[in-house]
Amino acid sequence: MEKEILIKPASKDLAAKVQALKLINEFAVLGFNSRGAFMAIVCHYFSKYKNKRDNLRLSNWYYGKFTDDKMQSDMEIVINKLKTE
């Protein structure tokens, strides 16, 4: 396992991006290493991300182009569900 990286974000926006990156890393640790695998598992648990607009938002979140507190919360829910299965 790689050495942990600690970052002290300089702003709320950067803090949200750091948190999103941690969540994306957690998906990868759980075996969802590609964008496609990530998108499929999130859509499995949250069908609201299947529509075109929200699917694009989710993709942009994955690539770090977009942050949203509600989306972050949804990703944490998916991770917790995956860990308990």
Assess if residue 29 is contained within a domain. yes
* Per-residue pLDDT reduced to its tens digit, 40-64: 999 999 999 999 999 999 999 999 8
Q: Quote the domain boundaries for residue 43.
A: 14-74
Is 59 inside any structural domain?
yes
In a domain, 55, yes or no: yes
In this structure, is residue 8 part of a structural domain?
no
pTM (two decimals): 0.88
Q: Are 43 and 54 in contact (CB under 8 A)?
A: no
Residue 78 has a CB neighbour count (10 Å cut-off) of: 21
Cα–Cα distance measured from residue 13 to residue 28, given in angstroms and rounded to the nearest whole number: 23
* pLDDT for 3: 83
19 found inside a domain: yes
What's the total number of domains in the chain?
1
